């Protein structure tokens, strides 16, 4: 049976645990940083030496750690792309913008255990020869910024950051940088532009891969809060031990944010892939099931950008049988293990590991209208398909939810959504705003069509001229 596994949240909600430095030190805090900074060089068979930094980077590779911010990209691989020969300084930015609807895990770490993040960052910075790093925290987390600044002050006073850290000769400064209410600042190149003091317009890749041309055109590492905390645990336990947590290619733990129509919404840390969606939603130690008399209607499995699952939906997943042969197994949406690869195989993603549950009281058209309004508001506006498309989709859904829908709106929505992603935009927001529309409309098409039809019939009954008007022009107003 699935269980919570608290690696990162080990102390967070323990009675008597505070976010102050003494509490952290009392629980072994900053010992891993000390270990990292004083790690002796290792002799290699060919007579060469492997520096402490190289060893840590190797452990992170061995651990199989994948980014916790949304894309699930290998952390070790990302670090290996850093241009270490340019002669320019290397920067590290902690992405603490946490704005993907449904997600509230980084908040728990920063507000309740800020030193864990600072220790993880310090180790990641040391391993990558970074001497100046920033925590980019979303603007609304005013208290979060204060807490981090206080924690940094404490850490500086005890020489866990600053000059010649713990006598190692290594210098590192970390500053807090606040956003100001724009979701696109979470996209790493938008974030970099924002940090530089500009509008957060994402940069086009190539050539602006942060690992080569990032902050001030210098090599830059952008990692999520939870990812950086994991780095500390990897160095503490070793990459191989870490890789034993979770499932192959989906190692370690993840903090799942569970919200919507469950009895016990909240954050739950699990070994990746060791709990199914069903367990997370229905098991009493996790979501505890739906309200009385309600049935499941839909689940968004990885933040609002992830494609929705419809209750009862089945997928054919590859599995190995007893003799190691690959077989296809029909799997209900609820029986998907909550990990990176299974959700991707089912056509969606675990994204920021935020599950939003909707029961049968939900008007699915209203739900999509809500999500689309978010994207229309948050598009940065650089790319025409994204700027116009997100707005058209939102306006079409607005009319569908305000008695002015048309039967053809479902197809119209799909047509717009299909024309945004796929290399037509600068950043992945183009995909993010299309996926909800594509999946909601395809999987609940009858509800979208019925709503539009009902509106048309009602208007026809009232002798409204617009009843049969061509749909497209009207949506553009």
Partner 1 sequence: MINQNNLNVMSFNASKELEAEVDELISHYPVKRAASLMVLHAIQEKFGWISQDAILWAARKLELPPINLFEILTFYPMLRQQPMGRYQIKVCRTLSCALGGAYGLHRHLCDRLGLDAHAHGPQTTKDGRFTVEFVECLASCGTAPVMMCNDHFHEGVTLEKADAITSACK
Ligand X SMILES: Cc1cc2nc3c(=O)[nH]c(=O)nc-3n(C[C@H](O)[C@H](O)[C@H](O)COP(=O)(O)O)c2cc1C
Positions in the binding site for ligand SF4 (CB under 6 A): 184, 202, 379-383, 386-387, 425-427, 429-430
Unique residue bearing structure tokens 């991707």: 344
Which is closer to ligand X, CB of 183 or CB of 412? 183
- Cβ contact 296:320 at 8 Å: no
Q: How many CB atoms lie within 10 A of CB 117?
A: 24
Provide, rounded to whole angstroms, the least separation between the CB of residue 319 and partner 1. Answer: 32
| Parallel, antiparallel or unpaired: strands 354-359 and 253-260 | parallel
Selection from ligand X, ligand SF4, partner 1, none that 267 binds (CB < 5 to 8 A by kind) is: partner 1
CA atoms within 13 A on the CB side of 337: 20
Q: Which residues does residue 258 pair with via DSSP β-bridges, in sequence order?
A: 266, 355
Per-residue tokens: 215: 């902050």
Q: Which residue lies nearest ligand SF4, judged by its C-beta?
A: 386
Min. distance of Cβ 67 from ligand X in angstroms?
2
> What, of ligand SF4, partner 1, ligand X, none, does residue 379 touch, CB below 5 to 8 Å by kind?
ligand SF4
Choose between 432 and 475: whose C-beta lies nearer to ligand X.
432
Distance CA 302, CA 169 (A): 42
With CA atoms as reference, report the closest residue to 189 among 208, 212, 217. 208
Specify the DSSP class assigned to residue 151. Answer: H
Beta strands in 33-77 (DSSP E): 42-43, 49-50
- The whole-angstrom separation of Cα 53 and Cα 58 is 9
Q: Which is nearer to ligand SF4, 268 or 392 (CB)?
A: 392
- Nearest approach, Cβ of residue 433 and ligand X (Å): 9
Q: How far is the CB of 267 from partner 1 (least distance, A)?
A: 6
Given ligand SF4, partner 1, ligand X, none, residue 180, with its beta carbon under 5 to 8 Å by kind, binds partner 1
Count of CB atoms situated within 10 Å of the CB of 454? 13
CB 272 within 8 A of CB 243: no
Q: How far is the CB of 255 from ligand X (least distance, A)?
A: 12
Which of the listed partners (partner 1, ligand X, ligand SF4, none) does 222 bind, with a CB threshold of 5 to 8 Å by partner kind?
Answer: ligand X
Q: Closer to ligand X at the Cβ: 117 or 410?
A: 117
CB nearer to ligand SF4: pick between 191 and 270: 191
To the nearest whole angstrom, how small is the minimum distance from the Cβ of residue 427 to ligand SF4? 3
**Long-range Cβ contacts of 413-418 (<8 Å, 24+ apart):** 413/437, 413/441, 413/448, 414/438, 414/441, 414/442, 416/389, 416/392, 417/389, 417/393, 417/441
Residue number, 95 or 401, with CB nearest to ligand X: 95
**Whole-angstrom Cα distance, residue 85 to residue 284?**
53
CB of 426 to ligand SF4, least distance (A): 4
Closest by alpha carbon to 138, among 91, 202, 184, 72?
Answer: 184
Minimum distance, C-beta of residue 380 to ligand X, in the bound complex (Å) = 9
Gap between the Cα atoms of 349 and 166, Å rounded: 42
Give the binding site for partner 1 (CB under 8 A).
98-104, 106-107, 132, 138-143, 175, 177-183, 194-200, 216, 257-261, 265-267, 300, 304, 354, 356, 358, 362, 366-367, 370-371, 373-374, 377-378
Q: Which does 65 bind (CB under 5 to 8 A by kind): ligand SF4, ligand X, partner 1, none?
A: none
Residue by residue, DSSP assigns 435-462 as HHHHHHHHHTHHHHHHHHHHHHHHHHHT
Q: How far apart are CA 459 and CA 473, in angstroms?
A: 18
Judged by beta carbon, residue 192 or residue 427, the one nearer ligand SF4 is 427
CB 430, CB 204: distance < 8 Å? no
Select 281 or 417, whichever has its Cβ closest to ligand X: 417
386 binds, among ligand SF4, partner 1, ligand X, none (CB under 5 to 8 A by kind): ligand SF4
Q: Find out whether 97 and 194 touch, Cβ atoms under 8 Å.
A: no
Q: Which does 90 bind (CB under 5 to 8 A by kind): ligand SF4, partner 1, ligand X, none?
A: none
Residue 357 CA to its chain's centroid (Å): 17
443 binds, among ligand SF4, partner 1, ligand X, none (CB under 5 to 8 A by kind): none
Least Å distance between CB 430 and ligand X?
9
Interface residues with ligand X (CB under 6 A) are 67-71, 73, 78, 95, 97-100, 184, 186-188, 222-224, 227, 427-429, 432
């Amino acid at each position: 049976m699935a269980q919570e596994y608290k690696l990162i949240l080990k102390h967070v909600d323990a009675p008597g645990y505070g976010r102050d430095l003494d509490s952290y030190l009392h629980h072994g805090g900053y010992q891993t940083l000390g270990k990292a900074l004083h790690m002796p060089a290792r002799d290699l068979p060919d007579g060469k030496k492997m520096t402490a930094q190289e060893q840590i980077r190797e452990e992170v590779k061995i651990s199989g750690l994948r980014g916790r911010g949304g894309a699930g990209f290998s952390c070790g691989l990302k670090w290996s792309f850093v241009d270490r020969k340019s002669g320019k300084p290397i920067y590290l930015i902690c992405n603490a913008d946490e704005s993907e609807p449904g997600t509230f895990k980084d908040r728990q770490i920063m507000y309740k255990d800020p030193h864990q993040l600072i220790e993880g960052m310090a180790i990641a910075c040391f391993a990558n020869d970074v001497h100046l790093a920033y925590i980019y925290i979303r603007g609304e987390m005013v208290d979060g910024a204060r807490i981090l600044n206080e924690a940094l002050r404490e850490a500086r006073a005890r020489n866990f950051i600053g000059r010649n850290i713990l006598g190692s000769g290594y210098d590192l400064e970390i500053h807090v940088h606040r956003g100001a209410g724009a979701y696109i600042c979470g996209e790493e190149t938008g974030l970099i532009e924002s940090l530089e003091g500009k509008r957060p317009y994402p940069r086009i890749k190539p050539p602006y891969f942060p690992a080569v041309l990032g902050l001030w055109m210098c090599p830059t590492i952008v990692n999520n809060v939870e990812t950086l905390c994991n780095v500390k645990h990897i160095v503490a336990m070793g990459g191989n031990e870490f890789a034993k947590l979770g499932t192959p290619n989906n190692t370690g733990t993840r903090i799942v944010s569970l919200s919507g129509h469950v009895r016990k919404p909240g954050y739950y840390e699990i070994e990746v892939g060791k709990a199914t969606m069903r367990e997370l939603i229905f098991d009493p130690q996790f979501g505890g099931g739906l309200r009385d008399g309600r049935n499941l209607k839909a689940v968004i499995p990885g933040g609002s950008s992830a494609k929705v699952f419809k209750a009862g939906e089945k997928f054919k997943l590859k599995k190995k049988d007893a003799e190691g042969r690959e077989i296809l197994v029909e799997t209900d949406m609820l029986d998907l293990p909550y990990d990176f690869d299974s959700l991707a195989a089912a056509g969606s993603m675990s994204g920021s590991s935020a599950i939003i549950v909707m029961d049968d009281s939900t008007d699915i058209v209203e739900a999509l209208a809500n999500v689309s309004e978010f994207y229309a508001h948050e598009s940065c506006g650089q790319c025409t398909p994204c700027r116009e498309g997100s707005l058209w989709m939102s306006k079409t859904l607005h009319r569908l939810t305000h008695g002015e829908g048309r039967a053809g709106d479902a197809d119209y929505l799909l047509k717009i959504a299909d024309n945004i992603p796929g290399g037509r935009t600068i950043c992945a927001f183009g995909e993010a705003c299309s996926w909800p529309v594509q999946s909601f409309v395809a999987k609940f098409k009858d509800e979208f069509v019925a709503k539009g039809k009902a509106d048309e019939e009602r208007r026809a009954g009232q002798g409204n001229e617009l009843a049969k008007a061509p749909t497209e022009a009207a949506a553009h107003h």
